[in-house]
Amino acid sequence: QEQMLQTQEQMLQTQEQMRQQMNEGFNRMASAFDNMTNAVLDAMNRQTERYDRVADTQTAQATDVRELKQRVENLEKTVYNKAS
Protein backbone atom coordinates (compact mmCIF):
# COMPACT_ATOMS: atom_id res chain seq x y z
CA GLN A 1 0.00 0.00 0.00
CA GLU A 2 2.85 2.38 0.84
CA GLN A 3 4.37 1.62 -2.56
CA MET A 4 1.05 2.41 -4.28
CA LEU A 5 0.77 5.73 -2.47
CA GLN A 6 4.31 6.67 -3.50
CA THR A 7 3.60 5.69 -7.11
CA GLN A 8 0.37 7.67 -7.07
CA GLU A 9 2.19 10.70 -5.60
CA GLN A 10 4.86 10.44 -8.30
CA MET A 11 2.16 10.28 -10.98
CA LEU A 12 0.49 13.37 -9.55
CA GLN A 13 3.82 15.22 -9.49
CA THR A 14 4.56 14.17 -13.06
CA GLN A 15 1.08 15.26 -14.11
CA GLU A 16 1.57 18.66 -12.44
CA GLN A 17 4.96 19.10 -14.13
CA MET A 18 3.41 18.27 -17.50
CA ARG A 19 0.62 20.76 -16.86
CA GLN A 20 3.14 23.47 -15.98
CA GLN A 21 5.21 22.70 -19.07
CA MET A 22 2.10 22.88 -21.26
CA ASN A 23 1.12 26.22 -19.73
CA GLU A 24 4.64 27.57 -20.28
CA GLY A 25 4.49 26.37 -23.89
CA PHE A 26 1.13 28.05 -24.45
CA ASN A 27 2.43 31.25 -22.87
CA ARG A 28 5.50 31.23 -25.14
CA MET A 29 3.30 30.58 -28.16
CA ALA A 30 0.93 33.41 -27.24
CA SER A 31 3.89 35.73 -26.67
CA ALA A 32 5.40 34.83 -30.05
CA PHE A 33 2.04 35.45 -31.73
CA ASP A 34 1.73 38.83 -30.00
CA ASN A 35 5.24 39.77 -31.11
CA MET A 36 4.49 38.80 -34.71
CA THR A 37 1.22 40.73 -34.65
CA ASN A 38 2.99 43.80 -33.28
CA ALA A 39 5.70 43.52 -35.93
CA VAL A 40 3.10 43.36 -38.72
CA LEU A 41 1.17 46.32 -37.30
CA ASP A 42 4.39 48.35 -36.93
CA ALA A 43 5.34 47.61 -40.54
CA MET A 44 1.86 48.59 -41.73
CA ASN A 45 2.00 51.83 -39.75
CA ARG A 46 5.43 52.69 -41.15
CA GLN A 47 4.17 52.03 -44.68
CA THR A 48 1.12 54.23 -44.03
CA GLU A 49 3.37 57.02 -42.74
CA ARG A 50 5.54 56.78 -45.88
CA TYR A 51 2.45 56.83 -48.08
CA ASP A 52 1.11 59.88 -46.23
CA ARG A 53 4.45 61.70 -46.61
CA VAL A 54 4.48 60.99 -50.36
CA ALA A 55 0.86 62.13 -50.69
CA ASP A 56 1.61 65.33 -48.73
CA THR A 57 4.65 66.03 -50.93
CA GLN A 58 2.62 65.48 -54.10
CA THR A 59 -0.12 67.80 -52.83
CA ALA A 60 2.45 70.48 -52.00
CA GLN A 61 4.05 70.12 -55.43
CA ALA A 62 0.66 70.37 -57.15
CA THR A 63 -0.04 73.55 -55.16
CA ASP A 64 3.34 75.00 -56.19
CA VAL A 65 2.65 74.21 -59.85
CA ARG A 66 -0.79 75.87 -59.66
CA GLU A 67 0.71 78.98 -58.07
CA LEU A 68 3.48 79.16 -60.69
CA LYS A 69 0.94 78.78 -63.52
CA GLN A 70 -1.09 81.61 -62.02
CA ARG A 71 1.99 83.84 -61.81
CA VAL A 72 2.90 83.08 -65.42
CA GLU A 73 -0.65 83.89 -66.54
CA ASN A 74 -0.53 87.17 -64.62
CA LEU A 75 2.82 88.04 -66.20
CA GLU A 76 1.47 87.20 -69.66
CA LYS A 77 -1.51 89.50 -69.06
CA THR A 78 0.80 92.29 -67.89
CA VAL A 79 3.06 91.89 -70.94
CA TYR A 80 0.05 91.75 -73.27
CA ASN A 81 -1.46 94.89 -71.70
CA LYS A 82 1.85 96.80 -71.92
CA ALA A 83 2.26 95.76 -75.54
CA SER A 84 -1.18 97.09 -76.44
Residue 84 has pLDDT above 90, yes or no: no
Residue 1 CB coordination number (10 Å): 5
Residue 1 has pLDDT above 90, yes or no: no
The predicted-structure confidence for 29-68, as pLDDT tens digits, reads as follows 999 999 999 999 999 999 999 999 999 999 999 999 999 9
Q: Is the pTM of this model over 0.85?
A: no
Q: What is the distance between the alpha carbons of residues 84 and 19, in angstroms, rounded to a whole number?
A: 97
pLDDT at 28: 98
